[in-house]
Amino acid sequence: MRPTSTLQERERELQSLLATAEGREQVQELACRYATMGSKLRPPGKSVVTHILVYERELGLIDN
């Protein structure tokens, strides 16, 4: 698991990944991995970044 970061730091990191095709694939893979780990399904229309941030916060990976 990655070390804790602030919400803003992690959001910037995920947003920067979305700038490239490889990064978008990484973000999608992370979302799929979290889904198999038991996160709730992402509601239609919700951002994949928001979904990841919520789940990582629940895991304690994001520090306020």
Per-residue pLDDT tens digits for 49-60? 999 998 999 889
Instruction: State the CB neighbour count (10 A cutoff) for residue 49.
Output: 17
Per-residue pLDDT tens digits for 24-46? 999 999 998 988 887 677 778 88
Q: What does the pLDDT read at residue 13?
A: 96
Q: Is the pLDDT of residue 64 over 80?
A: no
Q: Is the pLDDT of residue 1 over 60?
A: no
- How much of the chain is in helix, strand and coil states, percent to nearest 5? 60, 5, 35
Q: Characterise 60 by phi-psi region: left (phi > 0), alpha (psi -120 to 50), beta (else).
A: left
How confident is the model over 10-28, as a mean pLDDT? 96
Q: Characterise 45 by phi-psi region: left (phi > 0), alpha (psi -120 to 50), beta (else).
A: left
